[in-house]
Structure 1
Amino acid sequence: MDSSKEDPNKLSSSLQDPTPTQPLLSKPYPPPLDHPASPVPATLRPTTSQPSDDHSQLLQISYNYGPRPFKDWPFLLLFSLLILATFAFGIFASVHRNPHHSQVSSFFYNSTSSTCAILEVTQPSFFSSPISINALKSSVLKSLIWTLVITLILSVPFVLFVLLLLKHYTKQLVYISLPFFVIVPVFLDIYWFVACHVSSRCSEALPLAYRILIFVFILLIIGVVIWIFVVNWHRIELTINIIGVAANGLWQNLGLFGVLPGLTLGLFLYYAPIVVFLVFARFNGKIVPKEKNGEYYCVWKQDGWVPAYYALAILTMLWSATAMIEAQVYVISGTIAQWYFSKDYDRPKKSLRSALRNAFGPSSGTVCLSGLLVGVVRFVRAMVDNARNEDASGIVNLILRCCVNALMAAFDFLNKFTINFAAITGEAYCTSARMTYELLKRNLLSAAFVETVSTRVLAGIIFVLSVLYAIVVCLIVRAVGHLGVEAYFVAAMAWLLLLVVLGFFVNVLDNVIDTVYVCYAIDRDKDDVCKQEVHEVYVHLPISRSQRSAFSARTPMVV
């Protein structure tokens, strides 16, 4: 009898965690060599069935392939109500607009009825001034349109070609591009200075002193760029490998290049009716008499609710833009994470569709909350910058600005990896923020950072490539279109368009780098290796901001 009473206690004590008070993601790294491995694969184990202080959850962080519950749904509800209110009041404004808004000059004051009456009916005109047919048929406009269309068409294979080069020839492309980071800006600076000195129109508009000042200022900016690369030269080799790994992961998921622009196009289509509503909202009001110096005349008086609707619609558009940006990051992270945690012989199927379903389904509230927080942070930062531009003096203002900037920087870093972690695990925003911070802190000994040099290198590469393309366009337009100075304008527009497209590509690649970084931290947390080639590169990242280890200082774990 005594032994039978003791058996349940022994059984219950054996099932309990040996360290039940230890918080999530708080075990030291690396784990002991005799740490028992779970017979169940990490990707098949549930992630939400145990309390957050359970030590066994340390090995459960991985991509959540199963059904995900809805998280942060109150923010999705708030966002939906905001959209419904915007469209409802917009439809009301369109239906109840005053057709006499553009006919104020046709109204006169009727002293008998003390109201404004229409004198004559005039047909509204959509154009205040006729369009010059000659302007539409000018060679400059035709050259500009054809150049932009051809640039937009060529940008797709151009981006794929750059991605292919980064995947196979990252080192060669980076080292070839590095000298052009200096040569191209210096050449353009000297060319502009000489051309402006030769041109009588430019030399008259800009005196010699101003030209020299601009010339020296651009050289100083180039010097700062050179200094940045000299200081970070010891990390160039690491940067090359990080870019190569990210390019390989993006090459395995080329469907992102079709979905992400589609989401951006969908955002603009969603904006179209709101813009129409804003235009029609201006037509809501009435023509009323107004007295000035003893004389009455008719003026347009807008309804009092119109400014409030403008504020509502603009707030909805801003929140929608930030939410769409976060949704794109979520889709990138979810797709790349599935590629990372899959085996080479078992590539994930429908990973992009799964990431889209999660982003606009169970995690839509998390995306909305992240977009709201990003919008608030941007608004606060704009207010701080505006206060700085107004030369607000005082030690209190200085302290407040420093505190706000520190908080904004901390939030940007935390939010940067929070949405990546939410896309991987499907957790709520606050839970993802806490778990991400603890994960990176425990595995990387600090609030670790992804290699920021890679962003600067990629930005330099796309700048060089777009400038070279613009030079070729300028030569072709001058030869074929027989244009003079106008060819520079056409080439500048082509450069800007290609730079925007390549900038979008770099933004996607940056998000891939961040996602792979979080996945690598999860691997370290589980003492696992899902992608050996990633560990061989990311293991060389400095574990703290103060440590600058050489590229060959550490060796990756091989399993």
Structure 2
Amino acid sequence: MGSSSNDDPNNKLDSLYDSSASHPFLSKTQYPSCSSSPIEEDNNSHESESNQQYLHITYNHGPRSFKDLPFLILFLLFLISTFAFGIFSIFHRNPHYSSRSSFTFDPNTTSCVNPHLSFPSNFLLFPIHSSHFVKGLIWALVITFILSFPMCWVLLLLLKHYTKHIVYASLPFFIVIPIFLNVYWFVACTVSSSCSLGFPLVYRILVMGFVFLVIGVIVWILVVNWHRVELTVSIIGVASNALSRNLGLFGVLPCLSLALVVYYVPIVVFMVFSTFNGKIVAKELDGEYGCVWKQDSWVPAYFALAILTMLWSAVAMHEAQVYVISGTIARWYFSKDHETPKRSIRSSLRNAFGPSFGTVCLSGLLACVVRVLRTVVDNARQEAPGIVNLVLQCCVNALLASVDFLNKFTINFAAITGEAYCSSARMTYELLRRNLLSAVFVETISFRLLAGIVFVLSAVYTIVVTAILKAGTNLGADSYTVAAMAWLLLIVVLGFVVVVLDNVIDTIYVCYAMDRDRGEVCKQEVHEVYVQLPISRSLRQPVGPRTLGV
């Protein structure tokens, strides 16, 4: 597909390096190389509203002070309360809960008594039945999990060295594989008597037509954004190279997720034991007295507290992972060329769960609130349709989208500079506004291309697994279920690589904006790619003199 003259990289460079007196940081000057020594921002610079306070924004190598302490204290209060009441629920549980069905009403004492001890009716021993399906599923998941690690490694190497080849080779499969799967299920369901009887022909045609409509939308998106694919390929290549220099992240980040699971175990145990807190009381039912279980009044409140703590912890852990990725990549970015920083991941972990943990908690709280409100809005859309409700939902969704947009680069900036959340949000917006950079472009195409590549690889793997199961086992129709579970596991593992790469792209974007603002070049290969990003004309600030100060 041919491109117009407006898409020529030379024209983009000429338009970018404008000689406007109001924006000298875009002038045709030779950028000095990145300084190897850390430049720390003075703490009193926040009191000034002058643009000079942003001239020394860079990675903060030195010790960092604690930020957003109130939110750290609030999170610790939630955590301590959850564990304290959970431990209380264990020691305060009613031992008669398991035998509550054995209690009967005694009219003499007007209370419930247990005339004899019986073995708890809810503790039954169920035999474990082995089957071909269970064995096949276990083997498929184990083999898929083992193979996913070399597949992730190969995917990262291909994206680093052969980005253009793998992207352009995958693009046709974005269309071919969905078409193949759509036709295959239609034919398979038509041939199968049970499926054709349970799923009439008219509905099968409607579903197939809808899938083809979705495929058409995908084709349209590719055609409209075709001129951006080349630039996105370069951005993915730069991010893959940065990630390959910090492979330790693939060991630390899964460990953090595993730590979250271990952290959840006692809370789940506490929630189970909290249900044992109550008493067996007499209650009149249909004119006769019987014995029922009455739960303590504080148990529902504890459930709410525990669930909120788990949600906040999950989102905060995600923000902490983003913080670790951003801090590690930023330290690599602002280091000398061909120099690998030592203990960068350890330093990022120490900052994420130390001085900046309050910032991480605040970011996680905002993200958690946005997710909860979005769920409430979606449920209200189904339960209370109407024009007024629709308008309110649009307003709420716009507000939530604004919070998501604000939160996107804030945690990246906080990881780089060690600033508080509000300061990071304000300074990030000012940084992008002064440099005419849009925060939208870098996330629109790159993530979709990476997700498409993962979909293609997992789909090809699933087709191979299905063929092996159909030919080498006697699972029959269950082979599709086993293959689907293997596909789900593989796409989760490969999706983890995509999410990390997406965060690396965002971090490099913020680091590049800092370079432009200071008039420096810390990574020449990054500037050669990111300099081609489109300028956001909507962020152009009023004309006025400004000195670079370098």
Q: Same fold (TM over 0.5)?
A: yes
Q: Answer whether contact 2:170 2:453 (CA < 8 A) is retained.
A: yes
Do residues 89 (structure 1) and 85 (structure 2) align? yes
Do residues 469 (structure 1) and 461 (structure 2) align? yes
**Counterpart code for 2:58:** S
> 2:137, 2:48 → 1: CA distance?
59
Matched residue, 2:76: 80
Cα deviation per residue 1:152-189 (whole Å; 9 max; x = unaligned)? 11111110110000000000001110000011111011
Q: Answer whether contact 1:29 1:442 (CA < 8 A) is retained.
A: no
> 1:40, 1:457 → 2: CA distance?
35
Alignment of 1:253-402 (within 5 A): 253-395=246-388, 397-402=389-394
Q: Answer whether contact 1:43 1:60 (CA < 8 A) is retained.
A: no
Matched residue, 1:11: none
Alignment of 1:37-76 (within 5 A): 43-50=38-45, 51-76=47-72
Q: Answer whether contact 1:115 1:288 (CA < 8 A) is retained.
A: yes
> 2:156, 2:503 → 1: CA distance?
15
Structure 1 stretches of 5 or more lacking a match? Answer: 1-26, 548-559
Q: In 2 relative to 1, CA 52–335 (structure 1 residues): closer, same or farther, beyond 3 Å?
A: farther
Within the candidate set 200, 206, 210, 1:207 is matched to 200
**Counterpart code for 1:492:** A
SS at match of 1:43: coil
Cα deviation per residue 1:210-240 (whole Å; 9 max; x = unaligned)? 1111111111111111111111011010110
Within the candidate set 451, 475, 478, 2:470 is matched to 478
How far has the Cα of 1:76 moved from its partner?
0.7
Q: In 2 relative to 1, CA 52–151 (structure 1 residues): closer, same or farther, beyond 3 Å?
A: farther
Within the candidate set 518, 521, 537, 2:510 is matched to 518
Matched residue, 1:19: none
**Counterpart code for 1:73:** L
Structure 2 stretches of 5 or more lacking a match? Answer: 1-21, 540-550
How far has the Cα of 1:42 moved from its partner?
6.9
Matched residue, 2:542: none
> Identity of aligned pairs, percent?
64
Q: Answer whether contact 2:34 2:520 (CA < 8 A) is retained.
A: no
Which stretch of structure 1 is more off in the superposition, 338-347 or 190-199? 338-347
Q: In 2 relative to 1, CA 57–474 (structure 1 residues): closer, same or farther, beyond 3 Å?
A: same
How far has the Cα of 1:344 moved from its partner?
1.4
Q: In 2 relative to 1, CA 252–171 (structure 1 residues): closer, same or farther, beyond 3 Å?
A: same
**Counterpart code for 1:202:** C
**Counterpart code for 2:296:** D
**Counterpart code for 1:57:** Q
Q: In 2 relative to 1, CA 492–294 (structure 1 residues): closer, same or farther, beyond 3 Å?
A: same
Matched residue, 2:490: 498
SS at match of 1:64: coil
Q: In 2 relative to 1, CA 114–263 (structure 1 residues): closer, same or farther, beyond 3 Å?
A: same
Q: In 2 relative to 1, CA 203–343 (structure 1 residues): closer, same or farther, beyond 3 Å?
A: same
Within the candidate set 427, 431, 435, 1:435 is matched to 427
> 1:328, 1:38 → 2: CA distance?
30
SS at match of 2:99: helix
**Counterpart code for 1:222:** I
Q: Answer whether contact 1:109 1:115 (CA < 8 A) is retained.
A: yes
TM-score relative to the length of structure 2: 0.90
> 1:488, 1:172 → 2: CA distance?
31
How far has the Cα of 1:390 moved from its partner?
2.3
> 1:403, 1:380 → 2: CA distance?
12
Q: Answer whether contact 2:98 2:121 (CA < 8 A) is retained.
A: no
**Counterpart code for 1:400:** L
RMSD: 2.2
Cα deviation per residue 1:466-499 (whole Å; 9 max; x = unaligned)? 0111111112222332321111111111000000
> 2:28, 2:206 → 1: CA distance?
64
Which stretch of structure 1 is more off in the superposition, 398-407 or 515-524? 398-407
Higher relative contact order (Cα pairs below 8 Å, separated by 6+ residues): 2
SS at match of 2:534: coil
Within the candidate set 18, 30, 51, 2:25 is matched to 30
How far has the Cα of 1:501 moved from its partner?
0.6
Q: Answer whether contact 2:435 2:513 (CA < 8 A) is retained.
A: yes
SS at match of 1:289: strand
Q: In 2 relative to 1, CA 129–355 (structure 1 residues): closer, same or farther, beyond 3 Å?
A: same
**Counterpart code for 2:392:** L
Q: Answer whether contact 2:79 2:309 (CA < 8 A) is retained.
A: yes
Q: Answer whether contact 1:155 1:498 (CA < 8 A) is retained.
A: yes
> 2:343, 2:418 → 1: CA distance?
17
Which stretch of structure 1 is more off in the superposition, 92-101 or 478-487? 478-487
> 2:419, 2:538 → 1: CA distance?
32
Matched residue, 2:164: 171
**Counterpart code for 1:285:** G
Alignment of 1:69-218 (within 5 A): 69-124=65-120, 127-128=123-124, 130-131=126-127, 133=128, 135-136=129-130, 138-218=131-211
> 1:504, 1:545 → 2: CA distance?
34
Matched residue, 1:408: 400
Within the candidate set 217, 221, 224, 2:214 is matched to 221
Q: Answer whether contact 1:441 1:447 (CA < 8 A) is retained.
A: no
SS at match of 1:296: strand
Matched residue, 2:18: none
Q: In 2 relative to 1, CA 526–243 (structure 1 residues): closer, same or farther, beyond 3 Å?
A: same
Matched residue, 1:16: none
Cα deviation per residue 1:407-464 (whole Å; 9 max; x = unaligned)? 2111111111000000000000000000000001111265554241111111111001
SS at match of 1:450: helix
> 2:455, 2:30 → 1: CA distance?
50
> 1:166, 1:86 → 2: CA distance?
44
TM-score relative to the length of structure 1: 0.89
SS at match of 1:102: coil
How far has the Cα of 1:107 moved from its partner?
0.8
> 2:511, 2:191 → 1: CA distance?
57
How far has the Cα of 1:123 moved from its partner?
2.1
> 2:65, 2:538 → 1: CA distance?
41
Which stretch of structure 1 is more off in the superposition, 213-222 or 170-179? 213-222
